[in-house]
Amino acid sequence: MRMVERRRNVRNTHGYNRRREDAGLWSQPTLLNLCADLLLLFAIAALGWAAMRGVSSLPYFNIREVILSAQPQHISLAQLEHVARTRTGGNFFTVDLDAARSAFEQLPWVRKATLQRRWPDKLQLLLEEHEAAALWLKPGSENEQMRLVNSHGELFDADLPAQSPPLPQIIAPAQATAAMLRRHNEFAAELAGINRRVESLTLTPRQALRLVLDAGAVLELGREEDNGPLAMRIQRFTEHYEQVRARLGELRVADMRYPNGFTWVGVTPPPGAATANTPS
């Protein structure tokens, strides 16, 4: 009995090992098919990548032309050609559009550049140029740090053309430039009704505004206040300008900081009447 039981145990052990071997990788068709599919996908991806690299390196796709969407007003073709030749390396597939766009935006007068691919060997370039609206001066710097202000109130560096019309000056901290330009536009529209033009707009350290008009006339506007908004002071000035000028002579200084009037100093005032307080 003992020998029979031992043989039976041996037979059972061999059967268990045989079942374990049958459960291996090669006995599982589903798993084998999955591995085969993965290998096939990997091979296809590798061949596709190699084919793409080969096609993209063909000289047929080299960038041969940069097309301008519109003729720039302040930028020469020589400047654009230099950037196109030195900063648009690679071909249609490999050219770095961000680096090229940044290079074009470094040119004077360029506010924004848009660059797109055009099949098979061209780039389309659209330039947005700065529109000069004023000159900016840092307070206390005289003419040492003069820059230009565009129509968005942004500072930029460029040389004005020789025949450019005169631009108003904004004397204020750089962070206040956009707000000062908006103020200038408001005041200029109001003063146009009496044929006067703003030559400079200054923001003093006390946050008061001072205008210099054509022919050197000065308007002291003061600070923005609830009981005397600056727009109201300018309107008061334009309403009484012709009447007061006829009586007191051409304006030299007008102090608009009074709540109900302004002080007028004429260029050639009558004797004993150098100033006059003019109620509104």
Write out pLDDT tens, residues 115-140. 999 998 899 999 999 999 999 999 87
Taking the model in full, what pTM does it have?
0.76
Q: So what's the pLDDT on residue 274?
A: 45
> Is the model's pLDDT at 19 over the cut of 80?
no
> Is the model's pLDDT at 205 over the cut of 60?
yes
Of residues 159 and 36, more confidence is placed in: 159
Q: Cα(255)–Cα(261) distance, rounded to whole angstroms?
A: 9
Across 147-167, average pLDDT? 94
Those residues whose C-beta lies under 8 Å from the C-beta of residue 60, and which sit 6 or more positions away, are 120, 121
Q: Cα(280)–Cα(238) distance, rounded to whole angstroms?
A: 11
All domains in the chain, ordered by first residue: 61-129 (3.10.20.310), 132-279 (3.40.50.11690)
Q: Band of the pLDDT at 264, cuts 50, 70, 90?
A: very high
Q: Band of the pLDDT at 237, cuts 50, 70, 90?
A: very high
Q: Identify the CA nearest to 187 among candidates 227, 157, 214, 225.
A: 214
Q: Band of the pLDDT at 29, cuts 50, 70, 90?
A: confident
Q: How many CB atoms lie within 10 A of CB 78?
A: 7
Q: So what's the pLDDT on residue 21?
A: 53
Q: Cα(201)–Cα(96) distance, rounded to whole angstroms?
A: 43
Q: Which two tokens stand for residue 217?
A: 């006339």
Q: Band of the pLDDT at 39, cuts 50, 70, 90?
A: confident
Of residues 94 and 23, more confidence is placed in: 94
> Is the model's pLDDT at 160 over the cut of 80?
yes
Q: Band of the pLDDT at 34, cuts 50, 70, 90?
A: confident
